Amino acid sequence: MDFLIRGISKKDMDYLKSLARENSLSLNQFLLHILQEYCEQKQVHQTEKLYLNYLEEMKEITCMLLKKEEAESECLVRLEKMF
């Protein structure tokens, strides 16, 4: 039985069928599995993209606060030496 999917060549369909057989799945189950994995990966990437900017900002703020704290510590040490 030949399956026709617009945009997929016969060679590609044969390859997909062989992959489905290797995984002991029907072609429909295999294609559904591939699409579900794609959707899950897309959601993960979107989530990472959303949080990455915030994490980078938090990193910059943390570094800035650490530098400020170090500078204040140095000032306190100098003041203690003066008195």
Q: What is the pLDDT of residues 12-49, one digit of tens each?
A: 999 999 999 999 999 999 999 999 999 999 999 998 88
User: Whole-number mean pLDDT of the chain?
Assistant: 91
Per-residue pLDDT tens digits for 48-71: 888 988 899 999 999 999 999 999
List the structure tokens of 29.
């189950």
The model's confidence at residue 82, banded by pLDDT at 50, 70 and 90, is confident
The C-alpha atoms of residue 71 and residue 68 are separated, in whole angstroms, by: 5
In a domain, 2, yes or no: no
In a domain, 5, yes or no: no
Q: Is the pLDDT of residue 74 over 70?
A: yes
In a domain, 62, yes or no: yes
In a domain, 1, yes or no: no
Nearest Cα to 15, choosing from 27, 28, 7, 24? 27
Domain count, the chain: 1
CB atoms within 10 A of CB 31: 16
Q: Is the pLDDT of residue 1 over 70?
A: no
Instruction: Let me know how long the chain is.
Output: 83
Q: Is the pLDDT of residue 2 over 90?
A: no
